[in-house]
Every structure is written in structure tokens, then in C-alpha cells.
Amino acid sequence: MRTQESTIDHAVVAAVERSVHRLCRQYADRLQFHGWHHVGFVRAKAAGFARLNGADVTVVEVAALVHDVNYLVLRNSPAAAGRSLRREILAECGVPPRIAQWIDEIVDEAEMATRGRDISLEAQALSDADTLFKALPVTPVVLAHRYLRENGLSLRELAHKIVGEQCDVHEEGYYFYNPEAAATYSRWATANLQLWQCIKEAVDDPTVVELLDAVHAVDALAS
Ligand SMILES: [Fe+2]
């Protein structure tokens, strides 16, 4: 059923949801960080931000559902690495090619490593939801070690990636695009980035490196 305000039929959105959910379940061991818990959160929050900023809600929802399929294709990869799989899922679920192309562009625009101040409203809604997931106070506590495992990174590499990609955007004032999101979540973002800046400094201390090596040695014995 297509409602007047929906660019994408709700049955098609549901089909994309089922398809991505199935992939997340099937490859749960490869998607330690970017599994359904991440996709479901980003989809729900992105839809909310789209309603707030007037973006196309169904297009944003579908973009959120397929925004991280690159992690199924290649570890530690940019969104563009998932383009073929993304287009395959969208085509199989009945998303018209013109809209699929638009969704691809939104996903590229919203990527943290390359996003600018002026991106489309749809990319802003997706970006704010994805950025919020990064800034949640629970993420470094419950999920950071999963990111390391999923992407084969060391703690040092992840700290450098987060500080390198996110601090400038935060300082330049477009960490969140939506003013309400910025007002509500900037304190969390600031605390999170300070934590990662501290981790980046801590891993330069040789005694901390010894501590981490000892932890890894115990983990290796236990596995
Ligand atoms: Fe994401």
C-alpha cells in the first residue's frame, strides 16, 4: 500500500527489513558490531530524525537498513565496498533503480570519514542516527571490543581512527546536524571523544602496552 507521503511502498520497506535481518542473523559472527542491534537502532533513530527535519522518511529508513552491508563484503571497509550487495538487496525487494541510486548516494554522503557540513536532509538524518550510536555512553563499554574483533583492528588503531575521523567534525560544529540531536547528545559525544583521546594517549605508555599484551595473552589461552 503506497500512502501519499511515502516514496517507497511500506511493503517494500518491510521486504528490505526482512532481507537485511536475515543476512544479519546468518552472518552474526562476522557482524559483531554492525549486526542487527546496530542496524535496528540506526533505522529507528534515522526515521525519527527524518520526521524532524522533513527528509523523506521511507527513503531514510531503507538507506539505514542497507547502510552497513559493506561489513558483510569486506572487513574495515568504506560504505562504497557494499554497493553491489546493497543494489542487489534493493533490486530483489522491489526498490526502483532510480531510488536505489538515491539511497546509495545518501549512504555515501552520510559516511563519517568523508561527510561535509552541507549534505542532503536524508543523509543528515542517517548520519545523526549513526553518529548517535557511536556517541552512546554504552557503546565503548559494551561494543567497542566487538568493533575490534569484527574489523581486525588494535585498540591503538581504533583510537586513532575515532579521534582522526570525529574530532574535527565535532569541533567544527556539525557532529550532529539536527539542532535537537545536538542539544540532547553533544554532552555524550564530548565525553566519548575525550575518552578515545585519552585511550589514544594511554596506548603510548609502554607499561599500558605491556598490560594490554598480558590481557591478550590470557584471552588467547582461554580461547
Ligand atoms: Fe552504521
Q: Place 222 in a pLDDT band, splitting at 50, 70 and 90.
A: confident
Nearest Cα to Cα of residue 103 among 20, 189, 165, 22: 20
216 CA to centre of ligand 1 in angstroms = 27
How far apart are the C-alpha atoms of 157 and 142, rounded to whole Å? 18
Calculate how far, in angstroms, residue 58's C-alpha sits from the geometric centre of ligand 1.
Answer: 17
Across residues 179-189, what is the average pLDDT?
97
Residue 2 has pLDDT above 60, yes or no: no
Q: Which CATH number fits domain 10-219: 1.10.10.10, 1.10.3210.10, 2.102.10.10, 3.40.190.10?
A: 1.10.3210.10
What is the structure's pLDDT at 5? Answer: 64
Q: What percent of the chain has pLDDT over 70?
A: 98
Residue 50 in this model has a pLDDT that exceeds 60: yes
159 Cα–ligand 1 center, Å: 17
Centroid of ligand 1 to alpha carbon of 9 (angstroms): 24
Selection from 147, 138, 127 nearest residue 188 by Cα: 138
> ∠ at Cα 169 (140, 48), nearest 5°?
70
Residue 4 confidence (pLDDT): 52
Whether this prediction's pTM lies above 0.85 is answered by: yes
Q: How far is the CA of 45 from the centre of ligand 1 (A)?
A: 12
Task: Calculate Rg over the CA atoms of the chain.
Answer: 18
Q: How far is the CA of 203 from the centre of ligand 1 (A)?
A: 26
Ligand 1 centroid, distance to 14 Cα (angstroms): 19
Average pLDDT, rounded, for the chain: 95
Q: Binning pLDDT at 50, 70 and 90, where does residue 6 land?
A: confident
Give me ligand 1 centre to Cα 191, in Å: 20
d(CA 115, CA 96): 26
* CA–centroid distance, residue 131 to ligand 1 (Å): 8
Instruction: From 30, 28, 29, 22, select the one nearest 66 (Cα to Cα).
Output: 22
pLDDT for 205 beyond 50? yes
Please name the residue that has the C-alpha cell 543494489.
87
Give the pLDDT of residue 220: 86
The pLDDT tens digits of the residues spanning 120-145 come to 999 999 999 999 999 999 999 999 99
User: pLDDT class for 163, splitting at 50, 70, 90?
Assistant: very high
Give the model's pLDDT for residue 169: 95
> Ligand 1: distance of its center to the CA of 67 in Å?
6
Please tell me the distance between residue 219's alpha carbon and the centre of ligand 1 in angstroms: 28
**C-alpha 132 – ligand 1 centre gap (Å):** 10
Which tens digits make up the pLDDT trace of 53-106?
999 999 999 999 999 999 999 999 999 999 999 999 999 999 999 999 999 999
Ligand 1 centroid vs 95 CA: distance in angstroms? 21
| pLDDT exceeds 70 at position 1 | no
8 A C-beta contact, residue 11 and residue 20:
no
- Residue 39 alpha carbon to ligand 1 centre in Å: 7
